Structure 1
Amino acid sequence: MKKILFFLSFLLLNTLLVFAQPNKVTADKIVGIIGNKIVLKSDITDRLLDMQRQGAEIPENGQCLVFQDLMGTKTLVLQAEKDSLPVTDEEVETDIDNRIRTYINQFGGKNELEKVAGKTIYQLKEDMRDPIKDQKLAAAMRNKIVDAVRITPTEVRNYFVKIPTDSLPYYESEVEIGQLIVFPKASRDAEEYCKEQLNEYKAAIESGKKDFKQAAAQYSDEPGAKERFGQMEINRNQKDIDPTFLSKCFTLKEGQISNPFKSKFGYHIIQLVSRNGEDVVVRHIIKIPQVTTIELKEGLDKLDSVRAKLIAGTIDFGTAINKYSDDDNSKFTAGMMQGPGGTFLTIDQLDKDIIPILKTLKPGAYSQPQAFTDPSGKQGVRIIYLKTQTAPHRENLRDDYNKIAQRALEEKKENAIEAWFNKKLSSYYIMIDPEFKDCDALKPWVDVANKRAGK
């Protein structure tokens, strides 16, 4: 059950984009039933085809795993409905919109997505609605099952000592690093110069002397805008877009170019390419006012005084982040950098400009303020905080307790879920098509079905 549930989570997150099957001629049939929920043979084949299109590796028993995944989801959904767990239509619609935007970016545009999928955006949303609602209900039920599961130090130790020594992972040197960032304000002259440049680009584009796409690739100061020829696909309800930029997108007519305006990222002009209800396609050119050595020196002096307070212990790093940092993302992480595994990062996951700074620091130390340029091209000043650093080592309880405890907790949760399934399955009517009766992954369902049939 544990391996199956891991596979289930991958499927739910990655295979909700349903492609058209124009050449499909095989008659569909019901291959599984639990309670009043059914699984069709096409549900399994479509899921596998979608996984292949997205580059996922399909295991030999892929059909069995997908089938078990669908049965597991429907079992959780049945109980969630019985327990009246709340999942609103608004939550589902928000998730659908977010996924559609992700797919649009993945496939390079709305038209390309519709072409590849063989369906309109409206049809894709309709296809996704029930699976996403089921996903949310299943997740809510799963969370309810494991909500009270906790792990004790004794359980962590017992979990760890059962792991064979030669199976313990080997960790390269890892660090926990924070950064306090300040973006010095550019002078008024620098800001005016950006607006003058944008007005020149606008005039040249409107006169036909320049093409907006090529101008965006040539003149934008942000690398991503250059690579995309300035194009963006935006929904009115997006929360990750600067409000001023978002508002401007919906005030233009198709083909119209805005006057220069300021967002928190710099100065822009926008051209509306198309609009469809709450969705727009725009192109933009961004100019970032450049700070001079004078403004950078002011930023360095400011952080130098903050560093003195940190060293003296009159302020802690998290408080300094909240009080002085100009990086919005830092506010949510107390300034600590995040990687796939949390706050612990290997050297190869770090910005190459940070690595030389690390060589001058010991754990608990703060670097001298240094100027840098962020990925968007914006100049700033930062202090690097080295919280911890480990030497290369074999996993052990002293250095890696939190990682071990997290794994032990996840195992305990999966055991709780497995026990829940074993208890609940017998209370539902279950049918598994004979074609799948030999699937080990489906054994709990097959056993219950056979028992009810007197086999």
Structure 2
Amino acid sequence: MGIAYAVAAIDNSAEEVAWVVGDQPIWKSDIEEAYQSMLYEKAPINGDPYCVIPEQLAIEKLYLHQADLDTIEVSEGMIMQQVEQTINNYVAQLGSQDKVEQMFNKPMASIRDFLREAISNRSRVQQVQASLVKGIKATPSDVRRYFDKLPEDSIPFVPRTVEVQILTAAPAVPREEIENVKARLRDYAERVNKGESEFSTLAILYSEDPVSAARGGELGFAGRAQYVPEFTAVAFNLNDPKKVSKIVETEYGYHIIQLIEKRGDRVNVRHILLRPRVAEKDLEEAVVRLDSLRKDIITNNIPFEEAVAALSHDKDTRNNRGVMVNTNSMSSNHSTSRFEMSDLPQEIAKVVNDMTPGDISDAFIMKDPKTNQDIVALVKLSNRIEGHRANLSDDFQLIKGMYEQAQQTEVLKKWLEKKIAETYTRIEDGWRDCEFTHKGWIKASK
């Protein structure tokens, strides 16, 4: 909710004060801006927004006051990187910077200032909260006692999950195909350098990065760490916005890059990405090879893990015994090997759906999730856990996370109510008739 406060008091002489917390006013315009922001982001508002939002803004002010006492600071570089990422997301959703300015009803420079304060405030609040709950540790006996006391209707239902191991083969791309891709990129670069074509137009027409292609190849402001090293080395050494870079090879394919703007240690560039295609016959040959390997594994009782370690193309799963890790689902802040079917790549989910634990699939063609290139895979279904009410045997990490979250919520609630009691608070008429989440606001205002 702190996003709105960044806009406050540009001209507050005639503004209505709704709350005062300590010596900090909460203006009616703060509340209105926060409400509009929540509506745009489709954030849930549990109750009357003119009760919920002012309380949330007041809570933020209490945390920020504590951050001042604790001299908590945030990295300006990190904040600005998040600002640019947020703006890039808005541009991707709305289609242009002009539409983002229309949405906020202010120029881009003001939007950056607005977001900078909001993100800085949010980061400082999170640091205060982390400091308050850092001592919470869950022992197995704590988790068991917590689970035993949970009402039955509070025990979550866990959807069916699976654990999968994978072995992949990536056929080599023919040299002729690579040269063809490079020739096309050289042609695009030459047309731009001669002034015959606009880079953005060529990106829309030909780039195989669909997200940036829709924006004329523009990637938005980013720091060095946000790109793979090969791309970074070229993008950050560009100086002439009218010229196009040399061809850059990365794990994603081949690129040409054009500078848009440099701003400190961040750069905004356009790129065109082309991916050389694996020949159909090479994919078919890889399918035959992996089907033969599958027969050897089954006939000669070769551990799937040994075959992965010796032959799999993907280094991440190869070094993890083939075990796929679900980075989209976090249990107690740790990645997990369990996947709901919707979290798996579509091609794998389709194959795994009819398998039983221990089965190894036939070879099949799929898109590499990282590069979007065609590869060939075998998968082994290691485990299937049917949908069920959570239990300690199968879902200890989930329940541990629930326990820790409950403990953290209680610690923060007690801290806030103590802080509310100690802090001068005034709520103006017209803003007091509410059922607040935390006790003490009205009492403190008397």
2:368 aligns with 374
Structure 1 residues 108 and 427: alpha-carbon distance in aligned structure 2, compared to 1, 3 A threshold:
same
Question: Does structure 1 conserve the Cα–Cα contact (< 8 Å) formed by 2:207 and 2:217?
Answer: no
Matches within 5 A, 1:380-391: 380-391=375-386
Aligned counterparts of 2:272 and 2:211: Cα–Cα separation in 1:
11
Query: What is the rounded CA distance, in whole Å, between the counterparts of 1:51 and 1:324 in structure 2?
Result: 45
Distance in 1 (CA, whole Å) between partners of 2:410 and 2:235 is 50
Indicate which of 424, 437, 440 corresponds to 2:419.
Answer: 424
RMSD of aligned Cα (Å)? 4.2
Name the structure 1 match of 2:352: 358
Distance in 1, Cα, partners of 2:117 & 2:199: 41
- Please report how far the alpha carbon of residue 415 of structure 1 lies from its aligned counterpart in structure 2 after TM superposition: 0.8
Change (3 A) 1:125 1:282: closer
Asked if residue 348 in structure 1 is aligned to residue 342 in structure 2, the reply is: yes
Is the counterpart of residue 240 in structure 1 residue 226 in structure 2?
yes
- Alignment of 1:98 with 2:85, yes or no, is yes
Asked whether the equivalents of residues 290 and 363 of structure 2 are also in contact (C-alpha less than 8 Å), the reply is no
Which is worse superposed, 401-410 or 137-146?
A: 401-410
Cα shift readout 1:317-362 (whole Å, capped 9, x = no counterpart): 9x959x962469998x974133345544332343331134315644
Q: Which residue of 2 aligns with 1:415?
A: 410
1:253-310 CA-to-partner distances (Å, cap 9, x unmatched) read 33434443322211223445x43635666543322122344488579869959x969x
Q: Name the residue aligned to 2:109.
A: 122
| 1:27 counterpart letter in structure 2 | E
Mapped partners of 1:125, 1:388: distance in 2:
48
Amino acid at match of 1:242: V
Is the alpha carbon distance of 1:172 and 1:30 closer, same or farther for their aligned partners in structure 2, counting shifts above 3 Å?
A: closer
Q: Is the 8 A contact 1:47 1:66 kept in 2?
A: yes
Q: Which residue of 2 aligns with 1:338?
A: 327
Unmatched runs of 5 consecutive residues or more in structure 2: none
Q: Structure 2 CA distance, aligned partners of 1:63 and 1:316?
A: 61
* TM-superposed deviation, 1:242: 3.0
Taking the aligned partners of 2:6 and 2:94, their CA distance within structure 1 comes to 14
Q: Give the letter for the 1:33 counterpart.
A: V
Contact 1:330–1:336 (CA<8 Å) still a contact in 2?
A: no
Which one of 429, 432, 437 corresponds to residue 437 of structure 1? 432
1:3 matched residue in structure 2: none
Question: Which residue of 63, 67, 75 corresponds with 2:54?
Answer: 67
2:250 is aligned, of 263, 275, 280, to 263
Amino acid at match of 1:433: E
Match 1:33 to one of 6, 18, 21: 21
Alpha carbons 2:17, 2:428 under 8 Å: kept: no
Residues 294, 86 of structure 1: alpha-carbon distance in 2 compared, 3 angstrom cutoff: same
Q: Secondary structure at the match of 2:225?
A: coil
| Count of aligned positions | 432
- The TM-score with structure 1 as length reference comes to 0.77
Letter in 2 for 1:32: V
Distance 2:100 2:319 in 1: 34
Establish whether residue 190 from structure 1 lines up as the match of residue 197 from structure 2. Answer: no
- Secondary structure at the aligned position of 2:377 is classed as strand
- TM-score normalised by the chain length of structure 2: 0.79
Using the alignment, how far apart are the partners of 1:155 and 1:445 within structure 2?
Answer: 31
After superposition, the C-alpha distances for 1:112-169 in whole angstroms (9 at most, x for unaligned) are: 3223322222212222333322222211111111111123334434433444435544
Once the two structures are TM-superposed, the CA of residue 410 in structure 1 deviates from its matched residue by 0.6
CA distance in 1, matches of 2:267, 2:400: 46
Q: Which moved more, 1:350-359 or 1:411-420?
A: 350-359
Q: 1:325 aligns with which of 311, 314, 318?
A: 314
1:63-118 deviation line (CA, Å, top 9, x unaligned): 22212212222212222322233433333333323323322323223333223322
Q: What's the counterpart of residue 133 of structure 2?
A: 146
Partner deviation per Cα, 1:169-194 (whole Å, 9 max, x = no partner) = 44432223354555444243332121
Segment of structure 1 superposing worse, 41-50 or 359-368: 359-368
Closer, same or farther: CA 20–424 of 1 in aligned 2, 3 Å? closer
Mapped partners of 1:136, 1:101: distance in 2: 19
1:6 is matched with none
Aligned counterpart for 1:156 among listed residues 133, 136, 143: 143
Quick one: distance in 1 between partners of 2:419 and 2:240?
57
Identity %: 22
